[in-house]
């Protein structure tokens, strides 16, 4: 078990290091450099060179990379050439918003999908099961920005239950925080719940055919309790895989949703930085997103070993 965990963590560190190089190189090969952008097209080459020296862009690439990554590791993402402000606070503030939205919608999606998917599997040849399957099929087909717009039209503009946009940090007032969270989280969760329902359904159907479930019933557990006690944990293994992959797409989906609901999350910051040609900020945000996705993968892999003893000694 310990060997497995250490192995997976090492793998995470190596991948993250490799990813940081890729992110850095990508930003380097983009046309236009920071000094040129800051001074505009009419600047003299001498002025550009002077500014490059000031930013440290005249140093060898490897030194630039090391100083950047050294800063990142100590929580310092450098200073934006455009806004002249340090980047770290921007990232730390926006990451909170994005993580809250993403994790809350994943939790909501799971809370809906696990019971619905299980019900759809158990009742697979009854009308209820067929209706759940059909509904989840429709849910998958709705893009989340469309769901967001519909939700705003109905619950904000129509019924006036929730504000249509904006953000309030929890410490500024928890009620307001929750109120503003409901619509974006629901919009993101809807599609996820539909996808996960289908996976939960097929995982439970698969498990229901397993011999050990018949053993559980032969031991004296009624069919329903046998499924809960012996089936669901087995069914969780494929669902965790899918949920892990979905979390990564949720992070990306959040970029769009943050735009619709005007949330100060990483997506909003990323879009702003790109349109300002604020390369250092883009580099920082992309790096953080990459690490987040890798971290989610790591957590999923560690969850496997908790769920499935067969994984612990393999790998």
Interface positions with another protein (CB under 8 A): 210-212, 214-223, 230, 233-234, 307-310, 313-314
Question: Which of 128, 108, 111, 113 lies closest to 198, judged by CA?
Answer: 113
Q: Which residues of 150-174 are buried (b: 16+ CB within 10 A; e: fewer)?
A: ebbeebbeeeeebbbeebbeeeeee
At closest approach, how far in Å is the CB of 130 from another protein?
16
Nearer to another protein, 208 or 257 (CB): 208
How would DSSP label each residue in 85-99? SBSHHHHHHHHHHHH
Q: How many CA atoms lie within 13 A of 200 on its CB side?
A: 26
How far is residue 247's CA from residue 270's CA, in Å, rounded to a whole number? 19
Nearer to another protein, 28 or 215 (CB): 215
Q: How many CA atoms lie within 13 A of 257 on its CB side?
A: 32
At closest approach, how far in Å is the CB of 221 from another protein?
6
Nearer to another protein, 180 or 201 (CB): 201
Nearer to another protein, 4 or 177 (CB): 4
At closest approach, how far in Å is the CB of 159 from another protein?
44
Nearer to another protein, 132 or 236 (CB): 236
Tokens of 293: 């996705």
At closest approach, how far in Å is the CB of 212 from another protein?
5
Nearer to another protein, 179 or 210 (CB): 210
At closest approach, how far in Å is the CB of 225 from another protein?
8
CB-CB neighbours of 44 under 10 Å:
9
Q: What is the DSSP letter of 159?
A: S
How far is residue 233's CA from residue 213's CA, in Å, rounded to a whole number? 12
CB 144 within 8 A of CB 188: yes
At closest approach, how far in Å is the CB of 237 from another protein?
8
């Amino acid at each position: 078990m310990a060997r497995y965990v250490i192995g997976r963590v090492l793998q995470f560190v190596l991948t993250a290091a490799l990813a940081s190089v890729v992110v850095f190189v990508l930003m380097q090969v983009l046309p236009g450099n920071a000094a040129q952008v800051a001074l505009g097209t009419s600047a003299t080459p001498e002025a550009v060179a002077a500014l490059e020296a000031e930013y440290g862009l005249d140093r060898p690439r490897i030194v630039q990379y090391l100083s950047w990554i050294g800063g990142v590791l100590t929580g310092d993402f450098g200073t934006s050439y455009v806004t002249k402000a340090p980047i770290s606070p921007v990232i730390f503030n926006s990451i909170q918003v994005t993580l809250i939205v993403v994790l809350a919608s994943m939790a909501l999606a799971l809370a809906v999908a696990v019971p619905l998917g299980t019900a759809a599997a158990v009742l697979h040849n009854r009308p209820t099961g067929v209706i759940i399957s059909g509904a989840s099929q429709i849910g998958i087909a709705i893009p989340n920005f469309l769901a967001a717009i519909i939700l705003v039209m109905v619950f904000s503009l129509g019924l006036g239950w929730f504000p249509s946009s904006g953000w309030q940090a929890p410490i500024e007032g928890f009620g307001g925080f929750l109120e503003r969270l409901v619509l974006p989280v629901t919009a993101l969760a809807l599609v996820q719940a539909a996808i996960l329902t289908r996976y939960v359904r097929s995982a439970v159907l698969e498990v229901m055919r397993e011999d050990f479930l018949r053993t559980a019933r032969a031991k004296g557990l009624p069919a329903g309790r046998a499924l809960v006690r012996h089936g669901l944990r087995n069914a969780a293994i494929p669902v965790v895989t899918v949920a892990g992959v979905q979390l990564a797409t949720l992070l990306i989906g959040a970029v769009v949703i943050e735009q619709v609901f005007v949330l100060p999350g990483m997506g909003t910051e990323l879009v702003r930085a790109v349109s300002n040609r604020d390369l250092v900020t883009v580099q920082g945000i992309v790096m953080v997103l990459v690490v987040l996705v890798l971290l989610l993968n790591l957590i999923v892999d560690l969850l496997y070993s908790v769920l499935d003893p067969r994984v612990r000694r393999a790998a």
